[in-house]
């Protein structure tokens, strides 16, 4: 009797899992997600990237802790496009009125291209979000991607008014 060969595979790293989630999108959306992620990674080098793969959205939250509610901002990708979500957006002064949404806490802007992050009003909102974060970002170090488990509770999908 021959001994059967046991094939073992290493579990995917968090980065590999994150790349697999991004790969589910159309090529032009993949490129935008990757470019925006790279820009936010540079802007928030010490933040952990909390990765959520919901049925209707893929989210990367930039947080000083492993809690999504502590995130400064996140990107949310879905069939309707890519958003930059400000966790405490409802409290941010928005003189240019670019923040969308009417929830008690978050606000967002649509990201049509990577240039959106370079707009002065967006840069100002990012600075305000950092300054007003519940928990400050670490002054140094390198954050890491963390795949968050699927939850029974998922973000609500409200229809635009």
pLDDT (tens, 9 = 90+) of the chain, 161 residues, equals 555 666 667 889 999 999 999 999 999 999 999 999 999 999 999 999 999 999 889 999 999 999 999 999 999 999 899 999 999 999 999 989 999 999 899 999 999 999 999 999 999 999 999 999 999 999 999 999 999 987 545 455 444 44
At 161, is the secondary structure helix, strand, or coil? coil
- Residue 78: CATH number of its domain: 3.90.1150
Has residue 139 been placed in a domain? no
Dist. CA 102–CA 106, nearest whole Å = 8
Has residue 6 been placed in a domain? no
Dist. CA 134–CA 23, nearest whole Å = 33
At 86, is the secondary structure helix, strand, or coil? strand
Has residue 127 been placed in a domain? yes
pTM for the full predicted model = 0.86
Has residue 55 been placed in a domain? yes
Structural domain span for residue 21: 14-134
At 58, is the secondary structure helix, strand, or coil? strand
Has residue 152 been placed in a domain? no
Has residue 51 been placed in a domain? yes
Using alpha carbons, list the distances in angstroms from residue 9 to 6, 12, 28, 51. Answer: 10, 9, 31, 23
**Domain tally, the chain:** 1
Has residue 20 been placed in a domain? yes
Has residue 102 been placed in a domain? yes
């Amino acid at each position: 009797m021959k001994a059967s060969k046991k094939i073992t595979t290493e579990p995917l790293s968090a980065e590999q899992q994150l790349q697999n989630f991004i790969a589910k999108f159309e090529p032009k959306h993949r490129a935008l997600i990757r470019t925006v992620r790279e820009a936010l990674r540079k802007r928030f080098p010490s933040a952990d990237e909390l990765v959520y793969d919901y049925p209707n959205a893929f989210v990367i939250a930039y947080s000083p802790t492993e809690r999504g509610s502590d995130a400064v901002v996140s990107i949310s990708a879905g069939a309707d496009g890519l958003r930059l979500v400000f966790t405490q957006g409802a409290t941010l002064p928005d003189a240019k009125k670019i923040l969308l949404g009417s929830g008690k806490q978050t606000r967002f802007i649509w990201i049509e291209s990577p240039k959106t992050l370079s707009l002065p009003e967006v840069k100002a909102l990012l600075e305000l979000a950092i300054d007003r974060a519940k928990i400050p970002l670490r002054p140094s170090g390198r954050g890491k991607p963390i795949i968050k488990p699927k939850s029974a509770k998922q973000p609500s999908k409200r229809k635009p008014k």
